[in-house]
Structure 1
Amino acid sequence: MKTYSILVITVLMLMSCRPKHDVPVAIDLHSNWSFKAVNDSLWKPASVPGNVHSDLLNNKRIEHPFIGANEDSLQWISDTDWEYKTSFSVAKETLNKKHLSLNFKGLDTYASVFLNDSLILKTNNAFREFSVDVKSILASENNLRIVFERTSISEEHDKEKLNYQLPEGNRIFTRKAQFQYGWDWGPKLNTSGIWRPVTLNAWNDFKLESIQVTHQKSANSITKLFLDIKKISSVELDKNLTYEIYINDELYKTSKDVFKGYSWTTQVDIKNPNLWWPHNLGDPYLYDIKVVVKNGNSILDSISTKKGIRTVELVTEKDNHGESFYFKVNGIDVYMKGANYIPQNSMQNQVTDAHYEKLLDDVVDANMNMLRVWGGGIYENDIFYDLCDEKGILVWQDFMFACAMYPGDNAFLENIQLEATQNVKRLRNHASIVLWCGNNENSEGWHRWGWQANRSDEEKEDIWNNYLKVFDSILPNTVKGLTDIPYWESSPKYGRGNPKYKTEGDAHDWWIWHDAYPFEHLEKNVPRFMSEFGFQSFPSYEAIRYINQSDTINITSESFKNHQKHVRGFQLIDEYMQRDFPVPTNAEDYVYVSQLLQAYGITKGIEAHRRARPYNMGTLYWQLNDCWPAVSWSSIDYFGNWKALHYHAKKSFDNIIVSTSVENNSLKTYLINDGLKQIDVHNEFQMIFNFDGDMLWTRNFDATLYNTSSILINELDLKDLDIDYEDVYVLTTLNGKSYISYLAKPKDLKLKKAPVNQTIAKTQKGFKIFLHSTTLQKNVFLQANAKGHFSDNYFDLKPGEILEIEFETDAEHLDDLKIKTLNDLID
């Protein structure tokens, strides 16, 4: 009895000493949703976050919009008003909190929100977050209803306010993902719905709203971190507050200073900090920072963020050529290598964390260090930027304006101001973001695409002044006021019709593709920074089979044609193919060669850009990924399959490469080093072989690869050699790697037919494949029915070598490996 009493007393004492916490709570309201068309009576289950297209699909009310020509029959969805509803209970403890608000992270787009039959909110921007105080309305049992009005109603109303017509269509009036209205690589699926989380937020006397972390280098290898914290609290509580700051889970600082007012700034010193670097130059180190606020022993709230300590500068300086455009990170001139990124799915809720992880792993694997988030999509989910931070991928972030001129009335401008403020605040702690860009091609369109034709001077002045209000005032002022990230008004700075496109700013070179210029144009017209250029190819066989719902590779069906959104797409692919490659007569081979064609042209541009360093300091091709299965400019198709371009770009983007070009019968050889270390190489070789492997010419060389440089190490006059350009390849060795190049176009090569011998061995992760041939095999393409990833593909196999390729897959057997080469297509 005595022992029991002591135990009870001890427990009661421990309970009385335990800190009492009164932290804010956020309750997800993602359950029990249903939806219907406003003029219907039948409710069906809905997913939140989600969208109406996904909900209709999940309820088997529509066929999948990505299959065949189903997209065409689904346009009624965006011409319909939709309604969502749910019911939810609130516990008494939560209901008794002093402050209760509903938070909507994203409603797409014109929504009326009713709580317990009271209209509490009307929205008009899918990119904004909305919060509503519901303390006076919330009950223990609640009904939440959201009505989405079709976009055309507001668009037509806003259009009538103008006495002229703006390019490009009614999408310009609605602040939502512009690509949903249809693009030359994506479907017209203008969806609506609750596309981001909905939460009920409850708190009493204290709530932390946000944290911004900036830094400043000082003397003695110390970096000062400045924590700017925004909070809401009662005045009576302020005098009792203390805070603790943890860095990497270690208590760095504690204080009993009075924490007054809405904004509070404090400083933490980091000695000898680890810097954040893009992954190809160093470790993308992140500090975990956490702030805990207490009232005595009671925790009131805490907030966390990750911080990469790095500096970034966009350098635009006049020089002998025009004006530079390059980025300095931590004081180092960084060459940017990568691609343009678009939304991963026309139905955003279908994009999982695993999709983000895989795609961004593929970016790193291909030696890219920058992605440009294109302005016709979305401000991405937090996980995208979190992973870019962790993986060391730099982000060029567009504001969401693309290929149009936008209105400038006060309501629209106020909407944009709030949109910009919210998104810059949300993203400003991310080390990966190194640029905010106002728009994609709006300025070029106005000055070059005929948008000014048949307009009065007054009209043109009004439209351009509205442009300046947004992109020369609101957006740059917002960025400058909230962050230290550089701002760039419009990409590109000049359209390709202006000769300055090669000498100043960033460039979009669409002479390739749209104007059908030959790929050699890219070698002779190098800009200061190439932020867009591209070429289409067909997707994987998997994607084609999915589109057609058939095992046959059919690229002429009406179903498949619907997935080519460029009006001249098929024609241009064929035109370029006839210039540079043998043109196959069957569909399967044609798809294969289309990917080789894309890789051939784009890597020709990539390497020309890199050879021109430091005149050129970046090359971002269009585009990385797809939002649906399609014929497009992507290097990774909708199902995550690497096209030939992604494999070839991986080699062309490597930090250290050999790159050659042929000009006027002269073979020029460059060594390129984007790394931070100088490398001295000795007794390397450059050789010319025929396709049987006989050496026709050789030389050895020593060289110094200076850090962050491109150097021309040799010019060889080919006229002095007794060789047939069509029957040879050039092999250069460097640091244990071999680099193969050619002196003639692929279609002119006198390739020989011979088998590719294979040996397959099972491994823990899949299979090892050993390949061998007696002649050079060009563009070896490996394929299997099993889902998986080849470590290399579309590669060249030297005569006599044994090449090892890994195939990562869950399959237990690999009995159906198929091999295709360009040799097979040569007559």
Structure 2
Amino acid sequence: MADLVNRASAKDLAGNWTLHATDESISVPFPLPGDALSALIAAGVLPDPYVGENELAVRWPAERDWIARRSFALDAEALAYPWAIHVDGLDTVAEVRINGRPVLAAANMFRPHRAEVGDALREGDNEIEIVFRSNVAAATEAAARQPFELPYSAQMQAMPHINLLRKVQCHAGWDWNIAMMPFGLYGDIRLERIDLPAIAYVQHRQRHDAATGAVDVDVEVRIEAKAAGEELLTVELGDEKSSLQVAFTAGTTVAATTLRIENPRLWWPVGSGDQPLYDLTVTLGGAAHRQRIGLRRLEVVTKRDEIGVPLTVRINGLDLFCRGANWIPGDALPSRITPEAVRPLLEDAVAVGMNMLRIWGGGQYEPDWFYDLCDELGILVWQDMMFACALYPADNAFLAEVDREIEHQVRRLSHHASIALYCGDNEVIGALTWFEIARANRDRYLVAYDRLSRTIELAVNRADPERLFWPSSPSKGPMDFGDAWKAEGSGDQHMWDVWHAGKSFAAYRGVRPRFASEFGFQSFVSLSTLRRYIDEEDLDIASPAMELHQKNAGGNARIVETISRYFRFPKNFENVVYLSQVQQGLAMKTGIDFWRSIKPECMGALYWQLNDTYPVASWSSIEYGGRWKLLHSMAKRFFAPINVVAIPSADIATVGLFAVNDTPSEVVVAGNAFWLSVDGARRPAGDFMKTVPVDRAVLLLTVPANGSPDEVLAFNWSDPSGEHFDHHAVSPYKALRLRDPGLVVEAAKRGGGEWCFTITASAPAFYVALETDPYGVFSDNAVLVTPEAPVEIIWTSRSGDVDPVDSLVVHDLHSSYRPSEIVIRRAS
């Protein structure tokens, strides 16, 4: 929660501004906080950048300077006090003027800026301006000032040298993001009285008494003041309260007190327990600061073992397998990143069994409300610092700016129960080997990287010494500057050979990471989403509009080539989209099933990526706008806390069925395996029943891989969560001579925006997928339907009380390449 300042001591300057071109040829309303491109779109100056080929028509504003302006009034009484201007989230190279006088200059959107305004204020009307310098021009100018070249990923970024600015790196484009270089102000802007002390940060440390279970919470309050003084400081935590008279000096004073919670309710990640939060309130004179904190023991285990360096999150003494995904900014236009838009994405992560998100280092430190939501929902956060896929300056001025940024962000975030660890960067160690100039001058660039990394580490440890600082992702551990991309046994790993190198999905089973923090496979967004942004005549993967909505070079070709590797070739564009999503889910399931089966050697799998910034072919499991791809529905099954997975042996001679238990209790798993023919016949392959210990994977059954070319290995099982069914195809699905399954889908309204779809088949139907427009969420999707086992799927509307039946589209593997009879009817 944000600092709450006494109204008498601050004047909020957010609200209605106007945005002006420097030559005054354009003037539009500009609500702040917000970004300028959104204001220009709302005023009709720019088209919707997400539609068709409009991206190319919205880049020009970033190449110009702009001025934001508003007026405010001050009376004589207010002018009797000294004031400072405070801005937060100012993007990026900008100057603030009051009544024509420059009062503040900024060049880092990741930290607040504050400056005394002196006698710039006057009684009555005042005018404040923010001059936004072109960040494109500023980056080019910064490049010219560097003593040596600092390369960046030009294949992903349409606007160069953003690595030289402390700005969201993907604003210049990425291999899943539109290149628009937005600018604006996304946080607070206010005048503050500086004759009164202010609460800068509130942090705490927890000491858990193993004998009694009580928790001592040591609270530190950083007070900033212009002059020495004394005030009553009150700290309240739940029902506990501490008050003390604090004498503070000019500058920064740290006051501390301890409160004891005798019978604490512990905070757990979702799936492991509850998420109780305690209100922590600090008051000092007229200033107040409120937070919600969770009481838990957090450790990230990195002590070398017989394999290497693990990376295991331990909460309240329980080792946790981290199931989840990578998070990128919620929208390419910052004005659209709101709690209302983001909460459903986080809730949908929890809905499919995720307990961790990695906030990726090419995006942004998220707003306070984002971490509040993670605390509330029980989502652990791997927090990258904002450096990614490039080489960065290491001069004293840049490092001093980084130091201030990191200290601020870590002090701001440290109270959140959800923050599991801080990571120095994304793939910057790896970038040392990407560029010819860096390879030719490795020592120079390695020294520069080391200076940057040490600056980040020192700032993190100064601001929050309780949590782990992990130097980079991927990394084998501190002070190891080697290639961690394919290194097994230690640290975290990014496994990209399946997508970028075109290796088979089975290649995931050839690596044994301690923590798989990035891996992914692309798909197209659903046809319903595509039709909102692409004209019908352009719904072709080779059309200019579709290619512009694919940011990874060769991505469309790779999707199609992979389809032909695993499936029979689809009969039309609609089924290309469908199969792209099936194979994406199959790729992620292949890796995650294996890595869960080798726990505790591997203790985390975060696929790339959860969300999209705009409608684009990408690695996401949730499309822009919130629609679930088939991957997200499949994740609900492969991320289940208790699961049974099929793992072929290295020589493909046998298939092992493993039970995986991520719960805090031992469980009994019982079931049977059988070979399922394309005509529905079943051939027994064995039974199993075993007790699976806490946080372990256990081999249940080994099955000889002796199925016929028209059989898949299927298996049923029961566990404390219910009855389950899955299958494993020993050969590619294209080898199966599928029958027309004669699918019948019967729809029945249940009320409350819910419908039940009952699916029956006369022969096995693989990856039966339902899609509706209006949009809603299916309880399951991409399912195997057999003659003996009809499937019920519940659809919950996210479009109000609507009837989805007339829009229902049904896909399965057979109908993707051959005519099939699919009947959709309403229940009588």
Q: 2:419 matched to 1:433?
A: yes
Paired with 2:513 and 2:414, the residues of 1 have a C-alpha distance of 30
Kept in 2, the 8 Å contact 1:274–1:309? The answer is yes
Match of 2:261 in 1: 270
Q: 2:659 matched to 1:671?
A: yes
Aligned pairs (5 A) from 1:318-333:
318-333=304-319
Kept in 1, the 8 Å contact 2:237–2:278? The answer is yes
Match of 2:577 in 1: 591
Q: 2:103 matched to 1:103?
A: no
- Indicate which of 228, 235, 244 corresponds to 1:245: 235
- Indicate which of 93, 104, 107 corresponds to 1:121: 104
Match of 1:32 in 2: 16
Match of 1:492 in 2: 474
Paired with 1:323 and 1:489, the residues of 2 have a C-alpha distance of 14
Q: 2:456 matched to 1:470?
A: no
Q: 2:799 matched to 1:813?
A: no
CA 1:555–1:767: 2 relative to 1, 3 Å:
same
- Indicate which of 447, 453, 462 corresponds to 1:481: 462
RMSD over equivalenced CA pairs, Å: 2.2
Pairwise CA distance, 1:614: 1.0
Paired with 1:557 and 1:384, the residues of 2 have a C-alpha distance of 37
Kept in 2, the 8 Å contact 1:109–1:175? The answer is yes
Pairwise CA distance, 1:65: 1.1
Pairwise CA distance, 1:233: 5.6
- Indicate which of 723, 731, 734 corresponds to 1:744: 731
Pairwise CA distance, 1:259: 4.9
- Indicate which of 196, 209, 217 corresponds to 2:187: 196
Give 5+ residue unaligned stretches, structure 2: 153-159, 819-828
Match of 2:62 in 1: 78
Paired with 1:651 and 1:93, the residues of 2 have a C-alpha distance of 64
Q: Residue 496 of structure 2: SS of its match in structure 1?
A: coil
Q: Residue 105 of structure 2: SS of its match in structure 1?
A: strand
Q: 2:780 matched to 1:780?
A: no
Kept in 2, the 8 Å contact 1:205–1:237? The answer is no
**What are the superposed Cα offsets for residues 426-464 of structure 1, whole Å, 9 maximum, x if unpaired?**
111111111111111111121355453444xxxx33322
Pairwise CA distance, 1:718: 3.5
Q: Which amino acid aligns with 1:812?
A: V
Match of 1:9 in 2: none
Q: 2:498 matched to 1:512?
A: yes
**What are the superposed Cα offsets for residues 400-426 of structure 1, whole Å, 9 maximum, x if unpaired?**
100011111111111111111111111
Aligned pairs (5 A) from 1:175-186:
175-186=166-177
Q: Identical aligned pairs, as a percentage?
A: 31
Aligned pairs (5 A) from 1:692-711:
692-711=679-698
- Indicate which of 5, 8, 28 corresponds to 1:44: 28
Paired with 1:716 and 1:421, the residues of 2 have a C-alpha distance of 55
- Indicate which of 115, 118, 121 corresponds to 1:132: 115
Paired with 2:432 and 2:182, the residues of 1 have a C-alpha distance of 28
CA 1:163–1:732: 2 relative to 1, 3 Å:
same
Paired with 1:725 and 1:673, the residues of 2 have a C-alpha distance of 32
Paired with 1:105 and 1:355, the residues of 2 have a C-alpha distance of 21
Match of 1:156 in 2: 140
Pairwise CA distance, 1:50: 1.5
Paired with 2:94 and 2:575, the residues of 1 have a C-alpha distance of 49
Match of 2:220 in 1: 228
**What are the superposed Cα offsets for residues 228-251 of structure 1, whole Å, 9 maximum, x if unpaired?**
11224687852xx44443333x3x
Match of 1:399 in 2: 385
Kept in 2, the 8 Å contact 1:686–1:698? The answer is yes
Paired with 2:64 and 2:106, the residues of 1 have a C-alpha distance of 17
Q: 2:363 matched to 1:377?
A: yes
Pairwise CA distance, 1:287: 1.0
Kept in 2, the 8 Å contact 1:658–1:739? The answer is no
Kept in 1, the 8 Å contact 2:678–2:710? The answer is no
Paired with 2:795 and 2:752, the residues of 1 have a C-alpha distance of 11
CA 1:421–1:243: 2 relative to 1, 3 Å:
closer
**What are the superposed Cα offsets for residues 630-680 of structure 1, whole Å, 9 maximum, x if unpaired?**
011111111111111111111111110000122332121100001110113
**What are the superposed Cα offsets for residues 76-128 of structure 1, whole Å, 9 maximum, x if unpaired?**
222111111011123566545x3432211111111111011111011111112
Kept in 1, the 8 Å contact 2:323–2:606? The answer is yes
Structure with the greater alpha carbon radius of gyration: 1
Kept in 2, the 8 Å contact 1:445–1:451? The answer is no
**What are the superposed Cα offsets for residues 551-596 of structure 1, whole Å, 9 maximum, x if unpaired?**
8744332112101111110111112111111221310011000000
Aligned pairs (5 A) from 1:250-649:
250=239, 252-255=240-243, 257-261=245-249, 262-293=253-284, 300-447=286-433, 450-455=436-441, 460-471=442-453, 473-483=454-464, 484-493=466-475, 501-550=487-536, 553-649=539-635
Give 5+ residue unaligned stretches, structure 1: 1-20, 295-299
Paired with 2:485 and 2:346, the residues of 1 have a C-alpha distance of 35
**What are the superposed Cα offsets for residues 696-719 of structure 1, whole Å, 9 maximum, x if unpaired?**
115332210111001112212234
Q: Residue 404 of structure 1: SS of its match in structure 2?
A: coil
Q: Which amino acid aligns with 1:143?
A: E
TM-score where L is the length of structure 1: 0.91
Q: Which amino acid aligns with 1:516?
A: G
Pairwise CA distance, 1:195: 2.8
Kept in 1, the 8 Å contact 2:528–2:773? The answer is no
Kept in 2, the 8 Å contact 1:318–1:324? The answer is yes
Aligned residues: 788
Greater mean deviation of Cα atoms: 794-803 or 378-387: 794-803
Q: Residue 47 of structure 1: SS of its match in structure 2?
A: strand
TM-score where L is the length of structure 2: 0.91
Pairwise CA distance, 1:826: 5.0
